[in-house]
Structure 1
Amino acid sequence: MRPAKAEARRGLLIILSSPSGAGKTTLARRLLSSDPAISFSVSATTRPPRPGEVDGREYHFVSPERFREMVADGLLLEHAEVFGHLYGSPRAPVEAAIAEGRDILFDVDWQGGQQIRQSPLGQDAVSIFILPPSMAELDRRLRARGQDSAEVIAARMARAMAEASHWAEYDYVLVNRDLDTSMASIRTIIAAERLRRRRQPWLADFVRDLEREFDARALS
């Protein structure tokens, strides 16, 4: 009888979205460091690197001209403009990972999440939206970064409610009151989604083998 191989499952597209400052980047980093089966989808962007960011690690930093070429050539799974900069997810590495049973994590906004869910790979996606515990806490987190001007923080706060209005489009919604609790919930979601029947392509052959074994025993 054919053994049930864990590597035979299809991979997951794990979409993690939230308003800026709600904690998705921290949660994404924790998930990646704790689960070697998950890889990060490194997006392309036209924004300049922030201090400490490395090309090819946090983002692929490209020119606006190169980004538009990638869009025109169909090389991006999703793309969007956020605060005047372009962001997008390269398609080819994602398609290869899913076919090989590897999970890919996307740290994207609601526009990117929507495009992924509506793409041919949407059936492989599981989407999780992270909400802040309050607007006051969101404001505090944004200011604590020390990276943005007061004007940029005000713009991010204004955008936060617009982004939060898309919560109902997601499979799961978590209020990030505590990082450890939120992390435990995300791990539970991923464990359950990996076991969905449609992600176990080996099961049909396994059940046919069971039927053949049953028929052979009945005839013996």
Structure 2
Amino acid sequence: MSIAANLIRPVVICGPSGTGKSTLLKKLFVEFPDRFGFSVSHTTRAPRPGEENGTSYHFVTREQFLDLVKADGFIEHAEFSGNMYGTSVKAVEDVKKGGKMCILDIDTQGVKLIKKNHPYLNPLYVFISPPSLSSLKTRLTGRGTESEQSMSARLAAAVGELDYAKSGAFDVVVVNDDLERAYNVLKQVIIDGKTEAGDKLPHFEDK
């Protein structure tokens, strides 16, 4: 196995786009700056305003991405809306070398790949859920960055991710109905190890 086999148990954060994962993780990193390291993913999409290469993502060409795939350089990778995303072995190992717990922010395709191909990582799987699909649509609309086509794609993807979450694939669910409440739950789960503090997955009748 690679060095990744000897990692401190990482935490996988998953959930539909627009659920506030980035905001929750930012709060966690600000409060505990020396405890966690964020695995910086690779992507072939263009940077959004304010995003920095090497910090937000490693922005690469499709050719560079595929070269890493051929070299078995990714723990997981997936394609969404024409863009490729991946978590490299090196990105996770870089966090470990700093003596920190690695946080992985990936989608359900990535979760399935880790479960299938890298079970030795034994991560804590945490699903960040919206309280409803209508609230998720409102959040995505509020970004002002989504076209009608990408909005439809993200909502369709969200339905698939929520269905996967219903299968019991995650150790913990955190419903982001209120940022401070959700953050306190996430903190209990990750910092205190109280996985029983998690929420129940909503029924999503408005699906």
TM-score of the superposed pair, with normalisation by structure 1 = 0.78
| Aligned sequence identity (%) | 36
Distance in 2, matches of 1:25 and 1:169, equals 21
For structure 2, which runs of at least 5 residues remain unmatched after alignment? 1-5, 195-207
Alignment of 1:1-220 (within 5 A): 11-36=8-33, 37-95=35-93, 97-98=95-96, 101-120=99-118, 122-167=120-165, 168-193=168-193
After superposing on structure 2, the runs of 4+ consecutive aligned residues of structure 1 that deviate more than 4 Å are none
How far, CA to CA, are the matches of 2:68 and 2:43 in structure 1?
Answer: 11
User: 2: distance between equivalents of 1:93 and 1:56?
Assistant: 10
Alpha-carbon distance in structure 1 between the residues aligned to 2:37 and 2:164 = 25
Distance 1:93 1:26, change over 3 A: same
CA deviation vs aligned residue, 1:177-208 (integer Å, no higher than 9, x gap): 111111111111112449xxxxxxxxxxxxxx
1:153 is paired with a residue whose SS is: helix
Task: Give, in whole Å, the separation in 2 of the partners of 1:108 and 1:120.
Answer: 14
Note if contact 2:78-2:84 (Cα within 8 Å) is conserved in structure 1: yes
Structure 1 54/97 Cα, relative in aligned 2: closer, same or farther at 3 Å?
closer
| Partner SS, residue 146 of structure 2 | coil
Contact kept in structure 2, 1:10 and 1:99, CA below 8 Å: no
Distance 1:100 1:63 in 2: 28
Superposition RMSD on alpha carbons, in Å?
2.1
Change (3 A) 1:136 1:11: same
Indicate the structure (1 or 2) with the bigger Cα radius of gyration.
Answer: 1
- Looking at secondary structure, tell me which structure has more helix per residue: 1
